[in-house]
Structure 1
């Protein structure tokens, strides 16, 4: 068999392969043109986009391109590639100090688009223009359409990806493309505050321009941020300017957190970089402090290495830091030529950069009371995950160590805690060695319940207790116990061996244990929902559990019977959770599919006002975002909120307050009571907006939620779209209203609860992860 000879690919094929890797989307095209404008020293950049027509243009007032330079671009094929005004030599190829990617962006546009360039330099009296499509020159001469009266360049791209139909099919939607372009412009505006930017949607047929974004020239990154997002997120900031050798870190960090990471901007030499290890270093510093749970009042206890502030509810979303930081590194110390977007970097002195970042953020946290020197010294040794924090040992010279701060958190709100315990109740503890925990040694303490006044005797070894007025516990052999016994049976006691007569046990326990067989064999059995449906309820045990006899699935003999204890609180919580979620999710599915059976809503009269930032209000104006809220039962009655500027006019309008008041007219009735408590409604709207901003896929729901009436648990298909905040509210409501420990149940109530549990989709786990059986 003859093998084909190795031959070079044709030039057009090479160009197309290369160009499709450099420019992958319309937003990437705009980004490359924008960076060329910044390289040209522009002080005003205007961008126009028509996503539906695959067209965009970028106009600047930079230095412009000469006629000879335009001839290079319009040469077509290989002649136009690698033509650049940036100085490169073999020794500096890895030291990219400019934005342009080695003169390939414009040539790549000419391969996959119709490219028109019109430019004029300060020395030229006339604008010159070239038009190239598919690497073939179509025109080269005086400008006609984009004639310029001042130096600068206009680059227009039409019919993008005309020769790549698959790329068009897989391209993001126009709305998402516009948002990506907007984010790209904002990212550069924050590190180029001396440059003005505008973004216009040219697809609009209105007489007035559909101006999406207008950022004037400002004096600093902080002023630019306030103009874009308002002061809502940066009421209080700490401006950063730290130097370590040849490294410099400058920018600002806000003392006010946000619900989203969308306000975190990290640059290297004013190049935006993709999430990497440096972002993880910053996140680790903040997560190891109290910043995420910071409240309005925050004081440091002199005798503790942790704050004395009251912790927020564990259900509340943790606040994310807001920062804009630019790291200046010598060009020879980094490599950001790994991909065309230049957002991925390799660093030579990574250790020094990490040390500068972490020390600067730790100093910020200590300076503003979010951390202490002891915690900062410990956190510098590692990078713990926010969800799996290490237990830091903040020991002083005496060897005394404070407890880990998360140990003080509780699963109930501060309001409930205050009402139950109007004054602090001291907790007395004592150190106990391992050798003191033997069964022969024990100690009893008396404790008075401050609410009822009853006195209890507590076994310090087991934690068991009984009321002092009650008779001492009696062991199974009929003798009085020398100390309070636990409420569980040892394996030897359960089998009636070693002197314990089997007749001392209740008959139903003896029968259940005999049929249970060897415990090691039974522990390998996996219970199924069918087991609960046929369960025989015995009775309530200790007002905490429901004892049941079940026939293990697939086994009909007596040896297949098993005794189980069902946590009555967890069981009722599971039943309630699924009932509430079923109502929410079926209403959501009906709304998405335009069904008549909508979710039960609660009309708010008068509507409830909520205060959002300007940026959040802009997100909520989007039709797709509002529709997503409406699917879950949230309707807004006022979409024209007032914005009160602290100053008007002037290009340095960074002091705009950025707050907007909106009114909520309807909420889902199933969680209506929870939403109307404190700031729950506002927090939900802000958190869900942050989720929609960072994960636009949450709005792509119309094609994946078909309802089929023959499905037993069809509501489960909507859980993937349910906001986490709604799930938390449902879990909280189900928990607070469920049957509690020490609630007495009749035999009929126990049977009804077990029957309801067997009909749930997930009967063996409560909403908070505890096992039910």
Structure 2
């Protein structure tokens, strides 16, 4: 097939859509222009279609000669490193221009002019003359001086009909206006904390109605109020740390949050919420989402090491991280460190200094009876999964007396440990295994049944259809069901009766509850007031329908929780609601973790237990039900439930 060279317009369009993949990136890039221009007030307007927006600022403005060259191949002059914009002062001629940046990548306006209709108006702070440049379908339709009563310095950028030149992309990414507004609000909350001297406004472009306003703050108390909202916190303290390579400056405060649950899982979910919702981390006075998430993960790991307490003081961090210029690069709004472990080590050292963790002096005493029972229950599973199916076909013809071939004879077992189920009369000898050919592997191996203990060995192919045609041999020790397969190769397998029935019941519960439009819920004994920060309150208002769909009825005005999901005598708690709200701040399409826990718990508690006697017919019915499941070889918790024992010739 011949290779055809694409024309320049197609190449530019492909390149521009990669740089500006959606409306969210476009809005962020234009806002970054205004921030780079050292504006004091930035006004963002959103259109009705979700694909049009405007950004006005009162920054230094774009000089006329730059505006003439802007949105051309020479416009992408922003360096990868963040550099301070120094304006060429014509009066004193003492300052040199180190670089004028138009977008965090440097080519944002150029890309937008290719995929949208763009109108740029700007007035430089040294001249009272306003210039305009208009693009339609990647062509300049106007470029020159205009008469305007508004001669204040600043820039106005209007983007209309984004991806109008790419109808397929426009249909694929056309967002709801509410989604765009929620994204801009979340973005401005971050920017207003990092860029504390800028006032941000969000308006409706059509009717010019102000939707949101974030004024510049004057004291640290005002800054922490934006982070915490109505939650009371201690007096902020100024913190500073430096080791020569990394410098961290900012403020630290504490707030008290009383938890209603004492489980380790809910405690870790609460730690994650504190690290993500009550900390703001910037890099050299600029906000990078990936950098903040990485630092927040370090905070969560550090806080998780603290002992669990009912009433605990949680930290609120607002810090700025500065690393030497030769130690990092910035590529596509992501910080690339030359030494990846440097940030982790320095940040952990900083956390240990400002937030020392006091470990518990008396570790909990293990329950001897519980440990013994756990060891007894896991003995059979360990014995099975420390052996491997041998699918190696011997080159020599086997003797007529060799009818059954043990599949665990090729692996060294733990002879020093006596087993209740496997009696080792002598220590098995390890034999040399022939190298299997690729043809043999392709014929005998497909979907593997293996665990971490057998992942380094050869495993046998077991498919879902294997369970449809089996012979049940019976129940063993009231814990396992033995059966033989009728397909080739013929195997004798053991399956955990509790795990098998647990999988069947879990998928029945999922089909019952997850197919409903509204998840079952129950009223709380007393309504609970949620302690939320402004970002979480905005998420509750934006995703009120999603929360109600999963059973969380919340009054968006008073932030009061009235109902919670309910599954057969088990109900979610306030901590589960807070955990889901934290996840909604990251992704709007996730299922509440408490729903998964409730379904798994109910499936486990109602399933056949170890010690329950099953008839031969009951074992057959259980395997028939298991063969219809979507994941028949895993229990509700993800552990394997089946193990091959013997391969028959």
Q: Could you tell me the TM-score, scaled by structure 1's length?
A: 0.57
Deviation readout 1:319-375 (Å, 9 max, x if unpaired) = 9x9754322234455433x34xxx223445766655432210232342x53x69xxx
Number of residues paired by the alignment?
Answer: 536
| 8 Å contact kept, 1:621–1:639 | no
Aligned to 1:192: 195
For the aligned residues, what is the CA RMSD? 5.0
Which has the higher mean CA deviation after the structures are superposed, 33-42 or 232-241? Answer: 232-241
Cα gap change, 1:234 to 1:758, in 2 (>3 Å): farther
Aligned to 1:58: 55
In 1, distance between residues paired with 2:108 and 2:504? 59
**What 5-or-longer segments of structure 2 have no aligned partner?**
79-84, 89-95, 256-270, 381-417, 427-458, 643-649
In 2, distance between residues paired with 1:28 and 1:560? 57
In 2, distance between residues paired with 1:33 and 1:219? 26
SS in 1 for 2:638: coil
1:13-92 mapped onto 2 (5 Å cutoff): 22-50=19-47, 52=49, 54-65=51-62, 69-70=63-64, 72-74=66-68, 78=72, 81=75
In 1, distance between residues paired with 2:617 and 2:341? 67
Which residue, out of 304, 318, 335, partners 1:290? 304
1:109-120 mapped onto 2 (5 Å cutoff): 109-120=112-123
Aligned to 1:545: 479
Displacement of 1:20 in angstroms is 5.1
In 1, distance between residues paired with 2:201 and 2:236? 26
Aligned to 2:322: 328
Cα gap change, 1:683 to 1:754, in 2 (>3 Å): same
Deviation readout 1:117-151 (Å, 9 max, x if unpaired) = 44445665x5624132135252533444xx43644
| 8 Å contact kept, 1:81–1:107 | yes
In 2, distance between residues paired with 1:349 and 1:771? 40
Aligned to 2:167: 165
| 8 Å contact kept, 1:45–1:198 | yes
Aligned to 2:560: 661
Displacement of 1:639 in angstroms is 3.6
Aligned to 2:186: 183
Which residue, out of 579, 583, 587, partners 2:508? 579
| 8 Å contact kept, 1:573–1:767 | yes
In 2, distance between residues paired with 1:236 and 1:487? 63
Displacement of 1:249 in angstroms is 0.8
Displacement of 1:295 in angstroms is 3.6
Which residue, out of 142, 155, 180, partners 1:138? 142
Is it true that 1:687 corresponds to 2:614 in the alignment? no
In 1, distance between residues paired with 2:69 and 2:77? 10
In 2, distance between residues paired with 1:681 and 1:59? 45
Displacement of 1:288 in angstroms is 6.1
Cα gap change, 1:258 to 1:232, in 2 (>3 Å): farther
Displacement of 1:582 in angstroms is 2.2
In 1, distance between residues paired with 2:214 and 2:640? 54
Cα gap change, 1:35 to 1:292, in 2 (>3 Å): farther
1:348-747 mapped onto 2 (5 Å cutoff): 353-366=343-356, 368-369=357-358, 427=368, 487-490=420-423, 526=462, 531=467, 535-536=471-472, 538=474, 541=477, 544-548=478-482, 550-554=483-487, 562=492, 566-587=495-516, 591=517, 601-602=520-521, 604=523, 608-609=527-528, 611-613=530-532, 614-622=534-542, 625-632=543-550, 634=551, 636=553, 639-642=555-558, 660-664=559-563, 667=565, 669=566, 671=567, 673-675=569-571, 680-696=572-588, 698=589, 722-743=591-612
SS in 2 for 1:62: coil
In 2, distance between residues paired with 1:195 and 1:271? 13
SS in 2 for 1:576: helix
SS in 2 for 1:731: helix
In 1, distance between residues paired with 2:422 and 2:294? 49
Aligned to 1:156: 158
Task: Indicate the structure with greater strand content.
Answer: 2
Cα gap change, 1:570 to 1:74, in 2 (>3 Å): same
| 8 Å contact kept, 1:545–1:565 | no
In 2, distance between residues paired with 1:40 and 1:328? 21
Larger Rg: 1
Cα gap change, 1:258 to 1:672, in 2 (>3 Å): farther
| 8 Å contact kept, 2:37–2:59 | yes
Which residue, out of 202, 206, 211, partners 2:205? 202
In 2, distance between residues paired with 1:538 and 1:19? 65
| 8 Å contact kept, 1:44–1:61 | yes
Aligned to 1:412: none
Aligned to 2:214: 215
Cα gap change, 1:639 to 1:533, in 2 (>3 Å): farther
SS in 2 for 1:275: helix
Which has the higher mean CA deviation after the structures are superposed, 749-758 or 40-49? Answer: 749-758
Deviation readout 1:30-56 (Å, 9 max, x if unpaired) = 333323323333222211111616322
SS in 2 for 1:272: coil
